[in-house]
Amino acid sequence: MVDVDKVLDEAGLTNPHVREYVKEWAAITTPDRIEVVSAADDARLIQESLDAGEIEPAGEGLYYSRSYYKDTARSEERTIVATNKPSDKGAYNNWRPADEMKPIMLERMKGASAGKTMYVVPYLMAPPGSPLEAYAAGVELTDHRTVVLHMIRMARVGIDLIDNLADPDSFVRAVHVTGDLPNLGQGTPEDERYFVTVADERTILHYGSSYGGNALLGKIAHGLRQASYDGWASGKFLAEQFMLLGITDKQTGKKYHICGGFPSASGKTNLAMTLAPDALGDRYYVEFYGDDIAWLWVGEDGKLYGMNPENGVFGVAKDTNELTNPTALDSIQPGTQALFTNVAYNEKTHEVWWEGKTKNPPADLDGWRDWKGSLIAERTPEDQNEPWAHPNSRFTTALSNVPNVASDYDDPKGVPIDGIIFGGRTRDREPLIRAIDDIAEGVYDGLTLGAEATFAAEGVEGQLRYDPMSMRPFMSYAEGAYAAHWLKIIGQATEKPVFAHVNWFQRDAEDGHFLWPGYRENLRPLLWLMQYKNGEVTGRKTPVGVLPTEEELDLSGLDLPQEDLDRILTIDVERWRQEMGFREEHLKQFDGLPEEIWEAHRRVAKALEDEA
Ligand code: GDP
Ligand code: PGA
Ligand code: MN
Ligand code: MN
Instruction: Judge whether 211 is annotated as a binding position.
Output: yes
Q: Residue 276's pLDDT is what? A: 84
Any residues with CB less than 8 A from the CB of 301 and at least 6 apart, and which? 494
Q: Please list the alpha-helical segments (H only) found in 33-186.
A: 42-51, 98-109, 145-154, 160-163
Helical packing angle, 98-109 and 16-29, nearest 10°: 60
Once rounded to an integer, what is the mean pLDDT over residues 424-433?
96
Please write the tens of the pLDDT for every residue from 58-116: 999 999 999 999 999 999 999 999 999 999 999 999 999 999 999 999 999 999 999 99
Q: Residue 6: its pLDDT value, please?
A: 98
DSSP character at residue 172: E
The annotation status of 265 as a binding-site residue, yes or no, is yes
The residue-averaged pLDDT of 1-11 equals 96
- The pLDDT tens digits of the residues spanning 39-73 come to 999 999 999 999 999 999 999 999 999 999 999 99
Mutate to test the pocket of ligand 1, among 224, 242, 270 (most ligand atoms within 8 A of CB): 270
| Residue 273 near ligand 2, beta carbon < 6 Å | no
- Assess whether pLDDT exceeds 90 at residue 612: no
Residues 465, 374: Cα–Cα separation, whole Å: 34
pLDDT, position 100: 98
Of the given ranges (244-248, 459-463, 562-566, 576-580), which has the lowest mean pLDDT? Answer: 459-463
- The whole-number average pLDDT for the span 310-331 is 97
Reply yes or no on whether the pLDDT at 119 is more than 90: yes
Q: Please, are residues 396 and 146 in contact by the beta-carbon 8 Å criterion?
A: no
Q: Which residues pair with 121 in a beta bridge?
A: 140
Q: Is the pLDDT of residue 463 over 90?
A: no
Residue 441: band (very low, low, confident or very high) from pLDDT cuts 50, 70, 90: very high
End-to-end CA distance of the chain: 76
Q: Average model confidence (pLDDT) for the chain? A: 97
For residue 262, which atom of ligand 2 is closest to its CA?
3
268 is in an annotated binding site: yes
Active site residues: 266
DSSP 599-612: HHHHHHHHHHHH--
Q: What is the pLDDT of residue 270?
A: 96
Q: Which of the four pLDDT bands, split at 50, 70 and 90, describes residue 165?
A: very high
The atom number, within ligand 2, closest to the CA of 269 reads 4
Phi and psi of 446, rounded to 5°?
-60, -45
Q: Mean pLDDT throughout 248-273?
A: 96
Q: pLDDT tens for residues 353-386?
A: 999 999 999 999 999 999 999 999 999 999 999 9
Q: What is the pLDDT of residues 277-305, one digit of tens each?
A: 888 888 999 999 999 999 999 999 999 99
Q: What are the pLDDT digits (tens) for 469-522?
A: 999 999 999 999 999 999 999 999 999 999 999 999 999 999 999 999 999 999
Q: Is 504 in the pocket of ligand 1 (CB under 6 A)?
A: yes
Among 432, 424, 401, smallest CA distance to 273 is for 401
Fold entry, domain 4-54+77-222: Phosphoenolpyruvate Carboxykinase; domain 1 (3.40.449)
Q: Half-sphere exposure of residue 312, counting CA atoms within 13 Å on the CB side? A: 28
pLDDT of 454 strictly over 90? no
Query: So what CATH class is 239-310+418-611?
Result: alpha beta
337 Cβ below 6 A of ligand 1: no
Q: Which amino acid is present at 545?
A: G
Q: Are 513 and 507 in contact (CB under 8 A)?
A: yes
Residue 542 has pLDDT above 90, yes or no: yes
pLDDT of residue 147: 98
From-to residues of CATH 3.90.228.20 in the chain: 239-310+418-611
Does the annotation place 540 within a ligand binding site? no
Q: Where are the domain boundaries for CATH 3.40.449.10 in the chain?
A: 4-54+77-222
- Mean pLDDT, range 523-532, rounded to an integer: 98
pLDDT of residue 520: 94
Predicted confidence (pLDDT) per residue in 547-579, tens digit: 999 999 999 999 999 999 999 999 999 999 999
The pTM of this model reads 0.97
204 Cβ contact list (under 8 Å, min separation 6): 172, 173, 174, 175, 196, 197, 198, 217, 221, 222, 225, 226
Pocket test residue of 316, 355, 513 for ligand 1, highest count of atoms within 8 A of CB: 316
Tens digits of per-residue pLDDT, 17-44?
Answer: 999 999 999 999 999 999 999 999 999 9
Residue whose CA is at the smallest distance from ligand 1 atom 16: 319
